[in-house]
Structure 1
């Protein structure tokens, strides 16, 4: 694509985009620091544990978890190995697929997420929810869901 064909951002679009990026980076950074300080979990640990507790039996196939988190296969393998080393999860072979495997939350992982979640929710409220109106929150949810749906339809 040559430079003349690039649909450059208008000043309003650029302002909105950069504001959104700054918000996302700051929010993620501060939430991650609080998680680490208060719960000894990284943001990645928390994301894995939340996904595992969202499914009834606390187990999810590696590939499904990686897809949900938007992680590459190697990142998933390395991170799950580190979490397994700390006793938060275990890897179990998939009985109906010799190449597949499950990530399964352990009792220690369950205890860690139960300790971290209330603190994390408090931080989300303090840093984000307390600063938006209910109408803004509904609009943000609608926009986010629409954009995620579009990305899911075309996963490039």
Structure 2
């Protein structure tokens, strides 16, 4: 039973992630990881997070988040900063341009997510999972 549930999760996750990534790239020129990083940074205190904290929040390893932050910096969407209390700590800080990109891309993200889940709800292989996930967050 657990394996069946997990297979549904993997199928649904892959389908939704692919769709989100494709639309964000097509409409805004950013990848899904970049969008998620910008979202996390925009909600963080002072718009900054330690690199390791950002990695944990978006599900990347340290080297992957370093490459991601380098891409954000190259695009002017974030910048690095040293921790004033601990010079070894490196933060990434969202820029005004990064906030603007995140704000502009948010409707695409949320609209595409809803569309992908609606389509998946019509697929009998993953429909029960979509229904269960949606019911968890719907007020009774």
Same fold by TM (over 0.5)? yes
Greater Rg over alpha carbons, structure = 1
Paired residues in the alignment total: 129
After TM superposition, the score normalised by the length of structure 1 is 0.74
Cα deviation for residue 129 of structure 1 reads 5.4
SS at match of 2:134: helix
- C-alpha distance in 2, partners of 1:136/1:109? 30
The range that moved more, 47-56 or 15-24, is 15-24
Alpha-carbon displacement from aligned partner over 1:6-51 (angstroms, at most 9, x marks no partner): xxxxxx4433322221111111111110111011110110110010
Any runs of at least 4 consecutive aligned residues in structure 1 with deviations exceeding 6 A, and if so which?
Answer: none
After TM superposition, the score normalised by the length of structure 2 is 0.82
The answer on 1:122 being equivalent to 2:138 is no
The structure whose RCO (Cα within 8 Å, separation 6+) is larger is 2
- C-alpha distance in 1, partners of 2:133/2:67? 38
| 1:79 corresponds to | 68
Cα deviation for residue 99 of structure 1 reads 0.4
| 2:91 corresponds to | 102
Alpha-carbon displacement from aligned partner over 1:104-132 (angstroms, at most 9, x marks no partner): 00111011001100111111111115845
Alpha-carbon displacement from aligned partner over 1:70-113 (angstroms, at most 9, x marks no partner): 32211111210111011010001111001001110011101100
Q: 2:135 aligns with which of 138, 141, 148?
A: 138
